[in-house]
Amino acid sequence: DLIDYISDNTPNKINKYTPGTHIPIKAYEEFQQDNARHVLLLAWNHKKEIFAKEKDFRASGGRFITFFPEVVIE
Protein backbone atom coordinates (compact mmCIF):
# COMPACT_ATOMS: atom_id res chain seq x y z
CA ASP A 1 0.00 0.00 0.00
CA LEU A 2 2.89 2.36 -0.65
CA ILE A 3 1.41 3.59 -3.93
CA ASP A 4 -2.17 4.90 -3.72
CA TYR A 5 -2.73 5.12 -7.47
CA ILE A 6 -1.09 5.74 -10.83
CA SER A 7 -1.96 8.88 -12.76
CA ASP A 8 -2.16 8.60 -16.54
CA ASN A 9 -3.37 10.65 -19.51
CA THR A 10 -4.26 7.64 -21.67
CA PRO A 11 -8.07 7.37 -21.77
CA ASN A 12 -8.04 3.58 -22.26
CA LYS A 13 -6.10 3.09 -19.00
CA ILE A 14 -8.28 5.24 -16.72
CA ASN A 15 -10.28 3.26 -14.13
CA LYS A 16 -8.29 0.10 -14.82
CA TYR A 17 -5.67 -1.57 -12.58
CA THR A 18 -2.03 -2.45 -13.00
CA PRO A 19 -1.42 -6.15 -13.65
CA GLY A 20 -0.37 -8.18 -10.64
CA THR A 21 -0.40 -5.32 -8.13
CA HIS A 22 -3.94 -4.06 -8.76
CA ILE A 23 -2.97 -0.42 -8.25
CA PRO A 24 -5.78 1.76 -9.62
CA ILE A 25 -5.08 4.02 -12.59
CA LYS A 26 -6.73 7.42 -12.27
CA ALA A 27 -7.06 10.42 -14.56
CA TYR A 28 -4.41 13.14 -14.44
CA GLU A 29 -7.05 15.58 -13.20
CA GLU A 30 -7.37 13.57 -9.98
CA PHE A 31 -3.64 13.96 -9.36
CA GLN A 32 -4.00 17.72 -9.83
CA GLN A 33 -6.70 17.84 -7.13
CA ASP A 34 -4.99 15.41 -4.73
CA ASN A 35 -2.39 17.75 -3.15
CA ALA A 36 0.19 14.96 -3.06
CA ARG A 37 3.57 15.86 -1.59
CA HIS A 38 5.66 13.04 -3.09
CA VAL A 39 5.13 11.41 -6.46
CA LEU A 40 6.98 8.40 -7.86
CA LEU A 41 7.77 9.25 -11.47
CA LEU A 42 7.44 5.97 -13.38
CA ALA A 43 7.78 7.62 -16.80
CA TRP A 44 11.43 8.51 -16.14
CA ASN A 45 12.08 8.82 -19.87
CA HIS A 46 9.68 11.81 -19.96
CA LYS A 47 11.19 13.51 -16.90
CA LYS A 48 12.09 16.80 -18.62
CA GLU A 49 8.63 17.26 -20.09
CA ILE A 50 6.85 16.29 -16.87
CA PHE A 51 9.02 18.59 -14.74
CA ALA A 52 8.29 21.47 -17.13
CA LYS A 53 4.55 20.73 -17.02
CA GLU A 54 4.50 20.40 -13.22
CA LYS A 55 6.32 23.64 -12.29
CA ASP A 56 3.47 24.67 -9.97
CA PHE A 57 3.51 21.30 -8.18
CA ARG A 58 7.23 21.60 -7.54
CA ALA A 59 7.02 25.29 -6.60
CA SER A 60 4.42 24.47 -3.94
CA GLY A 61 6.78 21.97 -2.31
CA GLY A 62 5.82 18.82 -4.20
CA ARG A 63 8.68 16.42 -4.92
CA PHE A 64 9.22 13.76 -7.54
CA ILE A 65 10.96 10.51 -6.72
CA THR A 66 12.89 9.22 -9.72
CA PHE A 67 14.63 5.87 -9.87
CA PHE A 68 16.70 5.86 -13.04
CA PRO A 69 19.66 5.88 -13.29
CA GLU A 70 19.56 6.20 -9.47
CA VAL A 71 16.97 6.98 -6.80
CA VAL A 72 16.64 10.75 -6.30
CA ILE A 73 14.02 12.94 -4.59
CA GLU A 74 13.84 16.27 -6.38
Residues 46 and 64 reside in one and the same domain: yes
Per-residue pLDDT, 35: 86
Per-residue pLDDT, 56: 93
Query: How many domains are contained in the chain?
Result: 2
Q: Give residue 47's domain range.
A: 37-74
**pTM above the 0.85 mark?**
no
Residues 45 and 74 reside in one and the same domain: yes
CATH of the domain at 58: 3.40.50.720
Residues 72 and 42 reside in one and the same domain: yes
Check: CB of residue 7 under 8 Å from CB of residue 29: no
Q: What is the DSSP string of 17-51?
A: B-TTT--BEEEHHHHHHH--SEEE-S-GGGHHHHH
pLDDT averaged per 10 residues, the chain (length 74): 90 96 94 91 94 94 94 95
Per-residue pLDDT, 23: 95
Residues 30 and 41 reside in one and the same domain: no
Residues 28 and 45 reside in one and the same domain: no
Task: Look at strands 63-66 and 72-73 and give their pairing.
Answer: antiparallel
